[in-house]
Amino acid sequence: MSFLSLGLMPELLRAIQEQGYDQPTPIQSQAIPAILKGNDILAGAQTGTGKTAGFTLPLLHRLSAGKENTQHRRIRALVLTPTRELAAQVGESVKTYAKYLPIKSQVIFGGVGIRPQINALRRGVDVLVATPGRLLDHVQQQTIDLSGVEILVLDEADRMLDMGFIHAIQKVMQLLPAKRQTLLFSATFSDGIKKLATSLLTAPVLIEVASQNTANESVSQVAHPVDRQRKRELLSYMIGSRNLRQVLVFARTKRGADRLSKQLIQDGIKTAAIHGDKSQNARSKALADFKGGTIRVLVATDIAARGIDIDQLPHVINYDLPEVAEDYVHRIGRTGRAGNNGAAHSLVSIDEHKQLRDIERLIKRNIPQQLIPGFEPDKSIKAEPSSTRPRRPAAASKRNTSSAPAAHRGKRPPLHAGKGQSGRGRRVNKQSSLGS
Ligand code: AMP
């Protein structure tokens, strides 16, 4: 199938061609015709499948086909995303694909000044990409009018529910015209998503490209058993000995991400951390540096990593396994995007066997285990589930990291890391900065 046969307008085909896309991805060939016909859709699509173009292209087509008076623009399409990064990413895609159309788009999210957003909204916007929190700020300040929305997209809806945005979504719904087209995208289908779909969608076309809750086939997955205290050492060793160049590392907590990032820097590996406590500027810079290759390793928490889109990201390493098995699918969706091969490595300590089993059950396959010589687990170490493991006091942790001698890549640094890395309280403050 070609993009030509999907019935998209020439301005869009030209933009697609400039992107170098030869043919639609499976989600695109199913979603685009259904959306063009005006149907609501419920799409089960993981990140990396080309879902953004899958909804953006037909959305732009429909808005342009029924083009309104550009003198009095109003928001005709609203895309809601869980995180700032994803909003920025989708916003970029909208701009890219709308390059040859007289469509104005705007992205709004929290963590940055509201004034420029108010000014942009006042000048007139056709397509608005927003995170729920900041969108509601605008509603409260009466700086936004959503009464003209014809198309609503909920992108990564499962994550929005996960982050506690259900009430925000419901509030936004009350401000939209009842007669509209709604497109719901979700990587996983929990009961919450099914409920949301029932309340928001009318006779939706169901689209599912990869079977539910299965991991991306183009990603090779492997688990490396290792003692919890030796994870950092193993990570540095893997990056150094395999000469890994662009590695996205997942840590479970913000503090864990910061600590790991500092330790890798001490090991001579250029690293940055990205999480909800970082300023928007710091997050954008870290991402740009990572994409540009000035830093090798980006350590991210689950929520912060949503929306990171890097072509051909070759390596994802789970430093900690996620508490929620679905997050594993999201994490490894960062690699092997749009048909490229990727590798997902998980460093698994004896404390994480339950999480590993949950993940394997969810993805309906066993993840092969591979011991790294020199890092075989010590059989005398007993499991300590993260909920019972003592947390290292903040001051002690600081002292430990700052007093460590700078180690060079390839050299084994002292074994002070690991214990207490994977703190409890995942997603504490989850809504505080992200998605706002
Ligand atoms: P997404 O799943 O929307 O985050 O897209 C994942 C990646 O696939 C992005 O980098 C897109 O630029 C790329 N992509 C989208 N559609 C196509 C296509 N038809 N052919 C090749 N790459 C694509």
390 versus 377: which is more confidently predicted? 377
Ligand 1 centroid–CA 410 distance in Å is 36
> Which pLDDT score is estimated for 170?
94
> Which pLDDT score is estimated for 390?
45
Q: Which of 24-38, 56-70, 252-266, 299-313 has the lowest mean pLDDT?
A: 299-313
Does ligand 1 lie within 6 Å of residue 50's CB atom? yes
pLDDT beyond 70 at 351: yes
64 versus 220: which is more confidently predicted? 64
pLDDT band at 68 (very low <50, low <70, confident <90, very high): low
Overall average pLDDT of the 15-20 stretch: 92
Does ligand 1 lie within 6 Å of residue 49's CB atom? yes
Q: Read off the DSSP letter of residue 369.
A: B
Does ligand 1 lie within 6 Å of residue 333's CB atom? no
Of ligand 1's listed atoms, the one at least distance from the Cα of 51 is 3
d(CA 70, CA 102): 8
Q: Which of 59-63, 140-144, 218-222, 254-258 has the lowest mean pLDDT?
A: 218-222
pLDDT beyond 60 at 69: no
pLDDT beyond 60 at 415: no
Per the CB < 8 A criterion, the answer to whether 186 and 44 are in contact is: yes
* Mean of all residue pLDDT scores within the chain: 82
Task: Select from 2, 19, 57, 209 the residue to mutate for testing ligand 1; criterion: most ligand atoms less than 8 Å from CB.
Answer: 19
pLDDT band at 137 (very low <50, low <70, confident <90, very high): very high
Q: Which of 5-9, 59-63, 110-114, 414-418 has the lowest mean pLDDT?
A: 414-418
pLDDT in tens, 96-120: 999 999 999 999 999 899 999 999 9
Amino acid identity of residue 104, one-letter, is K
Of ligand 1's listed atoms, the one at least distance from the Cα of 47 is 2
Residue with tokens 């959306």: 35
Ligand 1 centroid–CA 77 distance in Å is 21
Does ligand 1 lie within 6 Å of residue 92's CB atom? no
Of ligand 1's listed atoms, the one at least distance from the Cα of 311 is 10
pLDDT beyond 60 at 135: yes
pLDDT beyond 60 at 420: no
Domains in the chain (CATH in brackets) are: 3-208 (3.40.50.300), 219-408 (3.40.50.300)
Ligand 1 centroid–CA 337 distance in Å is 7
Does ligand 1 lie within 6 Å of residue 53's CB atom? yes
pTM, full prediction: 0.61
Of ligand 1's listed atoms, the one at least distance from the Cα of 338 is 8
Per the CB < 8 A criterion, the answer to whether 333 and 216 are in contact is: yes
> Which pLDDT score is estimated for 400?
34
State what percent of residues in the chain have pLDDT above 90: 55
pLDDT beyond 70 at 215: no
Ligand 1 centroid–CA 21 distance in Å is 8
Ligand 1 centroid–CA 50 distance in Å is 4
Ligand 1 centroid–CA 60 distance in Å is 17
Q: Decide: helix, strand or coil at residue 183.
A: strand
pLDDT beyond 60 at 416: no
Overall average pLDDT of the 161-182 stretch: 93
> Which pLDDT score is estimated for 385?
60
Does ligand 1 lie within 6 Å of residue 309's CB atom? yes
pLDDT beyond 60 at 401: no
> Which pLDDT score is estimated for 276?
80
Per the CB < 8 A criterion, the answer to whether 435 and 84 are in contact is: yes
Does ligand 1 lie within 6 Å of residue 251's CB atom? no
pLDDT in tens, 291-346: 888 999 999 988 777 656 665 677 899 999 998 888 888 888 767 655 556 788 99
Sheet holding 315-318, edge to edge: 219-225, 342-348, 315-318, 247-250, 297-300, 271-274
57 versus 192: which is more confidently predicted? 57
**Token representation of residue 159:** 């994550």
Task: Select from 1, 21, 90, 99 the residue to mutate for testing ligand 1; criterion: most ligand atoms less than 8 Å from CB.
Answer: 21
pLDDT beyond 80 at 356: yes
d(CA 128, CA 126): 7
Q: Ligand 1 atom 19: the closest Cα is on which residue? A: 24
